[in-house]
Amino acid sequence: QLQSFPSDFLWGASTSAFQVEGGADVDGKGPSIQDAMGARHPDITDFSVASDHYHRYKEDVKLFAEMGLKAYRFSVAWSRVLPAGRGEVNEAGVEFYSNLIDELLKYNIEPVLTLYHFDLPQALEEEGGWNNRATIDAFVEFSQLVFERYGDRVKYFLTINEQNVMILHGNAVGTKSESKKQAYQQAHHMFLAQARTMKLCHDMLDTAKIGPAPNIISVYPESCNPEDVIAADNWMAIRCWLYLDMAYHGEYNSLVWNYLCDRGYQPDFEEGDAEILKEGAQPDFISINYYATMTVAAARNDGNDVTFREGDQQIMYGEEGVYRAAVNTNLSKTEYSWFIDPVGFRTTLRQVWDKYRLPIMISENGLGQKDELVDGQVDDQYRIDYLKLHIDQMQLAMADGVEIFSYCPWAALDLVSTHQGYGKRYGFIYIDREEFDLKELARIPKKSFYWYQDLIKGTTQV
C-alpha cells in the first residue's frame, strides 16, 4: 500500500537543541532563554541535561542509522556557537555540530538544520530580545556562521521553527511579550530576519535549499452558519497563512493586515523593510509542523471568547471579538488533550500545496504520551497507530498530487517537552530517566522504532 512513496523520499525524525542536548553550560556554551528560565513549572525538569545528546550523539546517530533514517532534523543552539548571540565564536560549539553532521553523513543520513528553535541567546534577551531590531542583525550573523561552517555539507535549512506559536502562544514556549502589539512587532522582526537569511543562504550557497517551518493546521467552522465559516477563515489567515504568505510573497496578507490595524496591533515599519521582505521571499520549499486541527465559532464578544478550558491544548483558544474556540466532537484526544485528526493532516497538506505549489517537508508530527518501560521494553502501539494513520493520509495527499519530499516526525528520541516535562514522551527511542531521576539515561528502542524501521525498509527498497 505504501508503494507510491518515491525511493528517495526522506523518511526522518526531528529534535531541537535545547530539548535534547543537555550540556547546557559546557564547552563554552552561553545561556539561552530556555536555560535562563530553568523549569517553567517547579514540578517538571529543566533543560540542563535533557537527553544528554550532546555527549551521546554518536550512540544516538548509530541508532538512527539502525532505524533506517534517511534524514535527521535538528537545530543549532545559537548560544552554543555564539555564546553572547553575536561576536565571539565558540569553536567548541561549532565543532559539536560539525561532528554531528559528519556522523550523520557517515551513515548517509541527510542533515536538516533548523536555525532557530525557541532558544534565543539570553544575552540578546537582556537587550530586548525580538523587540530589539538589533536582534535581526545578530540572527543574520548567526546564520552566516552556520552557512559558512556547515553549508558544504548541509543541503536543507529551516529558518525559524513555529514562529506563529512563539507569537501567539509565547507563554508555552518561552517567548515573552507584554501585549499583542509587542508580539506582532517581534513577529515583524522575525519576518525581516527570515527574509534576510533566505536571501543570504542563496547568495552564499549554490545548492542549499531553505524554507520556513511554521505550525500549520487546517480549521473547521463549528457549524455551517456563515458567521462560523468566516470566523474559521479569519482564524486560518491570522494563525497560519500570515506566516507562509510572508515567507512566500514577502508581504502581509491583506486580510490579516486589516485585522492588525483594526485592533491597533500593526507593527512599525522602518524605511526599507518592505523591500527586504520582498527581496528575501525566496523559499525553496515549505516545512510544516502538524499535530492537530482547530475548530472555530463566531465570536460573541461577551468576555468568554478566549475561554481556555483546563486540560485543553494550549493553541486551542480564541480571541475576544475575533473568534472563539469550539470543541470538535468528531475527534478523539490524546492523554494530553490534543485532538487526533489524521484526515485533517491530508486537508492541511492539500491546502498548503494549493496555495503555494512548493514541495513540502513535514518537520513535526507525533504523539506525546507517558510511555512505560516494562521488562526492558516499551510497547507504544498507540504511537504506531497514530503515526500510521497520519502516514496513510499523507500518502493520500500525495495521490491527490501534493508534492511531499520528507516526513520527520517528532521525535527521534525522547526529549523534554516544551512545557510539560520529561514524562510526556514522543520518541522512537526511550531514554531511561524520570523527571528528576537521571538514572543512566540508557537508550532503549521502542516498539515504534522497529515499526518505523520496517516501514522505511519497505518503502525505499527498489
Among 289, 295, 328, 406, binds ligand BGP (CB under 6 A): 289
Q: Whole-angstrom Cα distance, residue 44 to residue 41? A: 6
- Nearer to ligand BGP (CB atom), residue 151 or residue 344: 344
**What is the DSSP secondary-structure string of 363-431?**
EE----B----BTTB---HHHHHHHHHHHHHHHHHHHTT--EEEE--B-SB---BTTTBTTSB--SEEE
DSSP annotation of 128: T
- Nearer to ligand BGP (CB atom), residue 187 or residue 276: 187
Q: How many CA atoms lie within 13 A of 228 on its CB side?
A: 13
Q: Whole-angstrom Cα distance, residue 116 to residue 163? A: 9
CB of 19 to ligand BGP, least distance (A): 6
Q: Is 16 in the site for ligand BGP (CB under 6 A)?
A: yes
**Whether residue 59 lies in the annotated active site:** no
**Whether residue 141 lies in the annotated active site:** no
Looking at 21, 110, 319, 364, which residue is catalytic?
Answer: 364
- Nearer to ligand BGP (CB atom), residue 14 or residue 395: 14
Among 144, 347, 369, 420, binds ligand BGP (CB under 6 A): 420
Q: Which residues sit opposite 12 in a β-bridge?
A: 71
Among 34, 90, 161, 253, binds ligand BGP (CB under 6 A): 161
**Grid coordinates representing 198?**
533566505
Across 26-37, b (16+ Cβ under 10 Å) vs e yields eeebbbbbbbee
Q: Which of residues 76-105 bind ligand BGP (CB under 6 A)?
A: none
Which x/- pattern, by CB under 6 A, does the window 25-44 give for ligand BGP? --------------------
CB of 288 to ligand BGP, least distance (A): 11
Q: Whole-angstrom Cα distance, residue 298 to residue 308? A: 16
Which residue has cell 530589539?
A: 132
DSSP annotation of 266: P
- Nearer to ligand BGP (CB atom), residue 51 or residue 289: 289
Q: For residue 190, what are the CA distances in angstroms to 53, 98, 132, 277, 381?
A: 28, 26, 11, 11, 39
Q: Whole-angstrom Cα distance, residue 378 to residue 426? A: 12
Q: Which of residues 349-388 bind ligand BGP (CB under 6 A)?
A: 364, 368
Which residue minimizes CB distance to ligand BGP?
Answer: 417
Contact region for ligand BGP (CB under 6 A) — 40-48, 193-201, 294-302, 412-420? 412-420
Q: Is 410 in the site for ligand BGP (CB under 6 A)?
A: yes
CB of 161 to ligand BGP, least distance (A): 5
CB of 215 to ligand BGP, least distance (A): 6
CB of 165 to ligand BGP, least distance (A): 5
- Nearer to ligand BGP (CB atom), residue 162 or residue 341: 162
Q: Whole-angstrom Cα distance, residue 252 to residue 246? A: 6
Q: Whole-angstrom Cα distance, residue 458 to residue 351? A: 29
Contact region for ligand BGP (CB under 6 A) — 38-46, 78-86, 157-165, 429-437? 157-165
**Chain mean position to CA 29:** 23
Q: Is 175 in the site for ligand BGP (CB under 6 A)?
A: no
- Kindly list the catalytic residues: 162, 364
Q: Which residues bind ligand BGP (CB under 6 A)?
A: 16, 19, 161-162, 165, 215, 289, 364, 368, 410, 417-420, 424
